Structure 1
């Protein structure tokens, strides 16, 4: 069973794997983030035949979404020959739940100047399995395979993959599949027991320096709670070839 089934050109039904960690009657936004990437890529393929790659994904979480059918709408905000800005809206019953703005760029060869300043993380086979359902409920967290090194409250390094397809019966890019796992970061490096403190994220931003490869996505994550109700989950993300970019999530911290 996939995370979603397509009902129409822009309509989808979530399956049990989408149920949330904070409230199982509501969707976990994680799979939706991947679905929106898939629909942006489908729209791109229908509009132009030259290569474009996504360099930034900026998601605003506008409200909870029930475990019910949703609609996705795509709009090109800033068309261009080498750079585009595309918006995607994910809604239920005429109410927007998630809004994505994605920057796309035309690729070019920058091999001679490529480099990074991020620290590596141990490979998946150098970490121990960890079952997220020991701490979290919901179908989404149960669908993930996790290898983790927990360094202490608010600090962890880990790899995640899933054998659940994003969308039934359709070919999905590696980026769309990986984007469907980005939001898991907020539950992997816990700073406080979620039974005592709620800290859902109100957004997610991903900056990418290349197209991901492989089935595993790695995270080097730090979680910070401020003293005024604000928080941040910040991650460097990796694939089998090394650092891939960053993911950050603004938190609302509610003891």
Structure 2
């Protein structure tokens, strides 16, 4: 096993996960975060095989359709709404010939809008000024163990701002775009601002949507995250996304909130996607 990446390529469309991609509630499952980045990488490769269009990915939404087994996956990409200035792509990830993630990506035309650019949150303190945060003390799993985390302020239940980075490649032996490497860390947001101990409660996300007003750069992902639990088993994780230069967009995750079986809390549940 290559120990310096989350995935190893098998052929043009298939990939094998390493132990670094393993999930937090079940080591036999994938953590969704690197799989999300892998899907963006597959979209990049699909676009690279076509003439340059000048379009940039401005929104991607992932629907997680079921259990993400730590096993080989295949990703298929197609255009469902072609266009010269706006295009919609769809990517589907399969494990054991079963679709497990369906993603849709809007590509928008690019141009110089510097004169009217503005708005958004202030930039976060630089991660080099912050102490490491041992996120692995809160969560198990190979993916979490692979991260370099830096909290901007002491984490609170449901509210945390932190930087996340990794020294691992997304795909062994392949060049990966800054966007794919960035998206590969975004799903971590649901694990940094926990409202309840993950040893007693599960709150896996069943989706992830990322909106971008500019393309992220660099190896650090800034997550300014708020988690809300409702009274009937649903929740949301809302995040302002940053890179070193400032905000780049927003991410939203929908949660299914349920107690872990055998913990003495009311109800039952089974592990999800985290």
TM-score (norm 1): 0.97
User: How far apart are the structure 2 equivalents of 1:45 and 1:193?
Assistant: 43
Question: Which of 177, 180, 183 matches 1:179?
Answer: 183
Does 2:13 align with 1:21? no
Does 2:232 align with 1:189? no
User: How far apart are the structure 2 equivalents of 1:42 and 1:24?
Assistant: 29
Q: Contact (CA 8 Å) 1:154, 1:224: kept in 2 or not?
A: yes
Does 2:102 align with 1:99? yes
Question: Which of 227, 231, 235 matches 1:227?
Answer: 231
Q: Contact (CA 8 Å) 2:120, 2:247: kept in 1 or not?
A: no
Quote the offset at 1:177 in angstroms: 0.2
User: How far apart are the structure 2 equivalents of 1:107 and 1:85?
Assistant: 15
User: How far apart are the structure 2 equivalents of 1:194 and 1:136?
Assistant: 8
User: How far apart are the structure 2 equivalents of 1:150 and 1:76?
Assistant: 44
Q: Contact (CA 8 Å) 1:178, 1:217: kept in 2 or not?
A: yes
Deviates more, 1:166-175 or 1:114-123: 114-123
User: How far apart are the structure 1 equivalents of 2:42 and 2:155?
Assistant: 37
SS of 2:187's equivalent in the other structure is helix
Flag structure 2 segments of 5+ consecutive residues without an equivalent: 260-274
Question: Which of 237, 241, 252 matches 1:237?
Answer: 241
Quote the offset at 1:151 in angstroms: 4.2
Give the structure 1 partner of residue 68 of structure 2: 65
Name segments (4+ residues, structure 1) moved above 6 Å.
none
Give the structure 2 partner of residue 109 of structure 1: 112
Quote the offset at 1:8 in angstroms: 1.0
The 5-angstrom pairing of residues 1-255 of structure 1 reads 1-148=4-151, 149-255=153-259
Q: Contact (CA 8 Å) 1:225, 1:231: kept in 2 or not?
A: yes
Q: Contact (CA 8 Å) 1:3, 1:15: kept in 2 or not?
A: yes
Quote the offset at 1:122 in angstroms: 2.1
TM-score (norm 2): 0.91
Please give the root-mean-square deviation of Cα atoms over the aligned residues, in Å.
1.0
Flag structure 1 segments of 5+ consecutive residues without an equivalent: none
User: How far apart are the structure 1 equivalents of 2:21 and 2:246?
Assistant: 29
CA offsets 1:21-46 (integer angstroms, 9 cap, x no match)? 01001111110100100110111111
User: How far apart are the structure 2 equivalents of 1:203 and 1:14?
Assistant: 20
Q: Contact (CA 8 Å) 1:202, 1:250: kept in 2 or not?
A: yes
CA offsets 1:167-217 (integer angstroms, 9 cap, x no match)? 011111110001000100000111110011100000000000111111111
User: How far apart are the structure 2 equivalents of 1:129 and 1:14?
Assistant: 26
